[in-house]
Structure 1
Amino acid sequence: MIVTDLFWAQPVSLDLLRSFPKVLIIDCTYKTNRYRLPLLEIVGVTSTDMSFFVAFAYLQFERIDNYVWVLTTLRSLLDGISIPEVIVTDRELALMNAIDRVFSTSRHLLCRWHISRNVLAKCKKMFKSKEEWDKFISLWNFLVLSSTELEYNEHLARLLTDFDTYPEAVQYVSQSWLIPYFTTNRAESAHAKLKRQLGSNQINFECSWTKIHSLFELQHVDIKASFEKSLTIVQHQFKPSHFRELRGNISITALDHVLAESKRANDVGIDALVCGCVVRRTHGLPCTHEIADYIRQGRPIPLDSINPHWRTLELEILHKLGEIADPQSSFLIEPDVKPNPRGKGHKKIDVSTYRDPCAFELVQSGHDSHSPMGTQIPTQDSVKVHKKRPAKEQPYIRLIEDVDADGNCGFRAIAGLMGLTKAEWVQVRRDLLQELHTHIDHYTHLYGSHDRIKELTHILSYFEPNPGYHRWMIMPDMGHLIASCYNVVFMLRGHPVPPIATNWCKFRHFCAAGYDTAYSRRIEHFKEVIHSGVATRETFDCINLDE
């Protein structure tokens, strides 16, 4: 019997699904195996905002029947597990129909990342000039990033009014995307992590299982560590008395959301209409007017006001585990290896797991129906020039991320360092834009004006290649967003450290007093290695702080 479709889930994945059944993200990825079969990934989300693999399925075809079989198999494993409340996909019609059949009570959302890529692929060629297209896509991005229904309606009305001379574009986004509601994407990050683990597109089922099993184990360790962090670490911003019942009982991710809402309490008060209650509806967490009321009464925010999803910081262990078949003793036969569609002229086997360009990338590269013949699409094999670094720097260089110099290079570098693919620079822009607007009061105080917030929003709200210099990543202002958004600092023992930003001195927490002195020698060493006069408009010399 030849294998046509193959589904598997690890016991630890079902443990995670039992604890976090509310949301599933489902999407196919390609170039992962020698049989050229699509690999369907099913991904969940923990209370600490980490993605986890629920199950995988190799599919012979991407048809309704194949998807129905996968989802029915998954549902058969949900013995005692709640049916997912939300399922997120791209606009794969066969998958959408299968979800309606198998999980008819689940709410189906469309992925915002895939929507934006489709808008680019379909609409850009409809515009007469680059200026008009830039204006349209900028307004579209503001629309999809709206935080309230009122803001959404205002942006939508403006889009319909400003672009009534482009009825095809307006009709496409309205009928294809704006009627369904959409969310952000996690599937692409999961695809990237999986492909790094697989390493080649020429592996068989047995090798796939082994590599993915290792990925499951590493993922489980990381998730348990995130639980432990939420249970044991109390950050200074959560020490006020109204967080008393929440500390150590809900995830730090949830605490961050509640903290952001609490900062609006003085301005909003207990007026629910002004509050909007977006976080209560979308996250199941106390919104601003609720928090203001608790503070007014002198009460801590009660734990039972938090949705159980955010209070789950351990796994429910399944007692009944499925047996894993020995490939050597199985009666199943591997499917045939599909021939290379490019013909016999290519002797070298391409083992890359990097997917082929899709429609929006062809448009971004200028290689669409309106492009000149012979336009080349840059590939990962493109020749790159590495500039030789000064000899004094070389002992401290552990890794060089040589990203494409297309105006998004800073965002590509961050994507690579955070474990994403360099092609996921769009996600970094979105992350930083969300960080800026989630904590807008904080950053307005930090940067000194609303105008600076608007400038940074303008820079980050551009999701196409080759932006002009006015859309580039700028430092040090972007550095504050990156550090706060990703909450990661890479610092190796003995390595030189650049001069410290003056804004750190202005806005640091009192508990960080004296940190500058600890790094004074390393800052001086940095100046010895690079240049004695190295500085930025926002740096100071730690040695001369008291002068």
Structure 2
Amino acid sequence: MWCAFSEVLMIDTTYNTNMYDWSLVHFIGVTSTSKSFCIATAFVIRERQRNFTWALEKLKQTLNDYMEPRVILTDADQALMNACDAVFPNATKNLCRGLAIYSLQLAGSIQTQVCSMLDRRNYGETTTNRVESQHANMKRYLNGSNNSLDTIDRHILKMVNSQMKEIGKSFHDSRSKVMEGHRRHVWLKKLINRVSTHALGLLVNEYELIHKMRDGEASCDHHLYSSLGLPCACQIEGCIVNDTCIPINDVDPFWRRLNFDPAYPPNEEPNYEACLREINDTLSSIDDPNQKKSFFTKLISAIPGRSRKKSPEKREYPRGRPKKPDPSRHSSYTPAPDLPRHSSYTPAPDLPRHSSYTPFSSQVPSNETPTPSSLSRSLPQSASRFKIRRGRPKTSKPMGAHLGFPLMVSPAQVPAIEMFRSVIPSWAQPFVADIKNVCPDGYCGFRSIAVGLGIHEKLWPGIRRALQNELETNEGWWRAMFNKEDEILYGWVPSSISYSNTVKPAPPSRWFSVPGHGHVAAQTYGCVLVNLAGNQTESYFSLRIGPDLIPDPLVIGIANWGGDHWIYIKLVGDFPMPTQNLNWERSAVPAALE
């Protein structure tokens, strides 16, 4: 990209990019489509002239001999400005417009020097805003200041590849697309798809100045031509008056470059004799006559007026398939005369019909409006059985209906049905709307409860902490409750829930189990936990919260598959509730039993 667009060079330094605390010199270029790109980067320990000179000399070595920046834009760093004068003496050096106005103190000096800077060929680049924007873009890729040199090189290469894709797309749009605002200007006809859309936009904006010039409100200062290399308002007005188009040669070659090919030397004419010799040598080296004929035909077609290709014929009705013309007959065609029939010709006699024959009549009485029923009455009995179908066509059964799960209609749910239907009781299958197979890492029971609560299964540590808080807050109540069922159960339930290792899979002693964890989960979230594990189906209700506080509790269905994996089951409708756990009747408070 640097060899293709070497006209503009913007330089600035940035900091906090590497672990060595070195300053990064950022070289930025701009394309004909007004896209910025990173030319190169260099690290310097001190911002001195000899360091900047070394970086600029290395940058100059990447260009061909005839290439050199036409304009260099920097800040007010005197060491950097002196290095630019030493390495690129022929280039125009400009200060950032904002910095120039801030640095100059005298009003007359400001007006004179800033205006002279804008009159030079700068391709519209008068500030270092592009450089600052590229600094921010690069630091987004670096993601911090603790980067080594190889890490920075890798990130900058990734950034440059992204810029090349974006610039290539802008080139393609300029070569192939036509903007609606450019199409209506006839004087732009020779520039469309040959000049960047950004340059065409600048010309259209300059065209608006013509109306003010005609009204005497403004005058052409030739700024567009002197600073950007594009025709100014007076030149555009001349083309409009003479009804001509702007010649392509009136546009600076910078705006005509729509690819990544290196720029050619200015005013360099191709060697036509060498090209003709190369064509002649190529023709002489071809032995196949068909290939030689094809090559020669392509050369002839490139000559104006010698191409055999014709423009397509304009059709009166361009839409649809063209109609075939009537086949023309030969001039000698004579239609065959109607010959008389043979004297022995006799029409076929009417054969006797069966006694059940009834002549078909499609007539409807004149005093009756034709309806499907009246038409069916006019048909013979043998055809009356073909009735007109009304209403919507019959739809096929849901995808899971043939497997016993009529509510699971998605094809993606069929694998879960086939895998887990053996553990779900047959009476519950018509009410199952979904089956969620959570991650089998030893925390599947807590994951299933998270899915039932409407959150992601990855948030299962929050479920575990909530159950632990419930046990710690009401320790005395839970201790008395579990001792009624099993003396050692209370000691096991808190220890199994307080397991804090979330990296490794949980051991069997830390798995979710019922009835211990089932009671705690139902009480913590005020829900109804339904266990559909084969012959052990039972329900767990809240032990201390009655229906007056939660009249319509959430139902969470779970099932154990294979004895070591829990899955979530979504139950809908008026499904039969399994019997409650016996410990609930013995330990629940009176308000919860109502």
User: Considering only CA atoms, is the larger Rg found in Structure 1 or Structure 2?
Assistant: 2
Q: When the two structures are superposed, what TM-score results if normalisation uses the length of structure 2?
A: 0.40
Of Structure 1 and Structure 2, the greater helix share is in 1
Q: When the two structures are superposed, what TM-score results if normalisation uses the length of structure 1?
A: 0.44
